[in-house]
Amino acid sequence: MIAIDELTIDQVHDAFKSGAYTCRELVGAYIARIKALDQQGPCLNAITVISSSCLDEANALDEHLKEHGSFIGPLHGVPVIVKDQCDTKDVPTAYGNICCLHTPKKDATLVKKLRDAGAVILAKSTMPDFAASFNSASSLSGITLNPYKTIRETGGSSAGTGAAIAANMGLIGVGEDTGGSIRVPASFCNLVGLRPTVGMISRAGLSPLVKTQDTPGPMTRTVRDAALMLDIMVGYDTKDPYTASVKVAGPPRGGSYASNLSDVPLTKCRIGVLNSVFGREHSAECNSVNDVVRESLSRIATTGATLIDIDIPDIDYYINLSSTYFSRSRFDIQNFLEAHPIIKDVSFESIHSSKKYHQALPLFEDMGAPKSFKHPYEDPDYAKRLEVQQDFQRLIIGVMAVHNLDVIAFPSVQIPAPFVSDVVGTRFRHHFPTNTSIASQLHHPAISIPVGFTEKSGLPVGLEFVGLPYSEQKLLELAYGVESLMKARKAPVFECLENEIGESDN
C-alpha cells in the first residue's frame, strides 16, 4: 500500500523514476482515500465527482514513461483536485449550483495546461453556488466539513479543494479567489494558498463572481508545490484579455517560480505588520489566532527580518467602498450564463427566483434583491468605487514605499474555522471577519501560509503576506522561508485511517 500522506511532487517523481510505484497505483491510492474519507468515514463532502477517466490517464502516463524513459512534462503523473468552478472535459461540472450541472465538452484553459504538463485530473471539488460565499454551502453538495474538526467549517469558496488537499485526497489542488476564496480555506485547513495578480492565470472556462477580481491559483501542502503549479498555470491566453498581465509581469527569475526558493530572502526582508486588522483583543476567539500569528512574527524576526508596525488610515472606509460585489456580480454571472455553450434556459433570475441556491448564502441572496443592480452602471456609486480602489492601491503602495517594505502581514482570517452551525445560521449574515478582502480589492497578490494551531481548539491558523502587483516570486520566496522556519503543516488525523485503507483501485 502506498503511503500517500503529505506526498510532494518531487517525492512522487522520485518514486516513478525508481519504480517504487506507478502513476496508476498512486491514483488508485488516492481514489481509495476519497472513498474512505469523503464517501465513508467522516464524510467530509469535499469531492463532487471522481473523474471516470483518471485511471486510463494514469495508464497512458505509465506507458509513456516505460516506453520513452522520460516524463511528459513537469507535472507528470501528479493527481490534481480541481474546483468545480473550472470546466473539465467529460467530467460533470456545476459551478456549485444545482441548476448548472452539465458535462463540459472542453477544458478550461488552466485545466488544459495542467493536462499538457502531465497532470492527472483526479476529481472535482465542492464550492458554494457561483463561489458567492466565505463558507462552503452549496445547493449541489451541501456543507463541506473541516478535516481537523468535522464540526467546523472548511471556509469558502474553494472549500472542497481545501478539505481534500488537507486530508491528502489529492497531491495538489486548484482554487479560485475573488475576495479570499483560496486563502480562507487555506487558513482553515493548514495549507499554502496563493492568490496571484489578476490576469496571471487565465479565467477562460471558469464561472465568474467579480470579473475584475477573479483569479485561479494553487492550493497545496508546501510552498514548492505551489510554485511548481504556478509555473504551469501562468500564461497569456487570447480567450482572456486580462492575461495581458503576464506580459507586464515578465518571466520569473531563472525562468521558474520554483527554481529559486531558499530561506535567504526571509532573513533580508522588511515586513509591515498591520496591527489594526488583527482580531478584537477582547474576543477569546480572535485572541487564539492573534497569539499564533504574533508568535510566528516574533520567530520570523529572529531570522534577521525587519518587522515594522504600520498604519493604513481609514482602512475600513477603503475596504467597504472599494467593494463591487453588489455592483457587478449579478451582471457577470448573467453574462456568463447567457454565453454558455451547454447550459440553456438558466439565468441568474431563474436561479434566484426559484431559490435554487443554498439558503446560507447571503451574498447570493442580496445580489438578486429588489434593489440590486442588473448592470454595474446602475449603481450610482460605481465610478466612485473604482476611484476608491485606485486610491486604496496608491495608499498601500505609498506606505510600502515609505518603509521600503517587501510585504504587509496580518492574520489571513481573524478567527479560526467557525462551527458549521455558525455558517448555516445567522452569525455571519452581514459580516465575515476575514482580512483577505484587502489584497483582493487592492488587486494585489497575496499568500496564506500555515503558522500553527490555536492553543485550546487545535485549529489551523494562516499568516497572510500581501505584496506589490506581479510580486508572486517574492511572495513564494518569503513564504518558503516562513514554512522552513515554522514547520507548521501537519496532516489531520482520522481514526478510520489508523489501519490500512484496503486495496487501492488497481
* Pair 416, 188: CB distance under 8 Å: yes
350 is catalytic: no
DSSP per residue, 287-304: HHHHHHHHHHHHHHHTTT
Looking at 157, 288, 437, 471, which residue is catalytic? 157
According to DSSP, residue 38 is labeled I
Side chain identity, residue 161? T
Side chain identity, residue 457? S
> Any residues with CB less than 8 A from the CB of 315 and at least 6 apart, and which?
274, 276, 277, 438
Side chain identity, residue 380? P
157 is catalytic: yes
The three cell numbers locating residue 162: 481545501
The three cell numbers locating residue 437: 478582502
Give me the residue label for grid cell 492573534: 290
Q: How far apart are the first and last CA of the chain?
A: 11
> Any residues with CB less than 8 A from the CB of 238 and at least 6 apart, and which?
none
Looking at 51, 133, 158, 181, which residue is catalytic? 181
Side chain identity, residue 327? S
- Whether a cis peptide bond, with omega within 30° of 0, leads into 157 is yes
Closest listed residue to residue 207, CA positions, set 422, 351, 403, 355: 351
Angle between the N-to-C axes of helices 23-34 and 9-18, in degrees from 0 to 180, rounded to the nearest 10: 130
> Any residues with CB less than 8 A from the CB of 124 and at least 6 apart, and which?
47, 48, 49, 51, 81, 82, 83, 84, 88, 91, 92, 93, 160
* Burial class of residue 459 in the structure, from the number of CB atoms within 10 Å of its CB (0-12 exposed, 13-18 middle, 19+ buried): buried
**Count of C-beta atoms within a 10 Å radius of residue 323:** 18
Q: Within a 13 Å sphere around the CA of 426, how many CA atoms are in the beta-carbon half?
A: 0
Q: What angle do CA 501, 504, 505 make, to 5 degrees?
A: 140
Rounded to the nearest angstrom, the gap between the alpha carbon of residue 438 and the centroid of all alpha carbons in its chain is 16
* Burial class of residue 316 in the structure, from the number of CB atoms within 10 Å of its CB (0-12 exposed, 13-18 middle, 19+ buried): exposed
490 is catalytic: no
Kindly give the residue spans of alpha helices, DSSP state H, lying in 213-303: 223-233, 245-249, 264-268, 284-301
DSSP 3-state of 218: strand
Closest listed residue to residue 124, CA positions, set 172, 161, 152: 161
What is the rounded distance in angstroms from the CA atom of residue 389 to the CA atom of residue 298? 32
Give me the residue label for grid cell 505588520: 273
Looking at 83, 89, 124, 211, which residue is catalytic? 83
* Count of positions (residues) in the chain: 506
Residue positions annotated with a catalytic role: 83, 157, 181
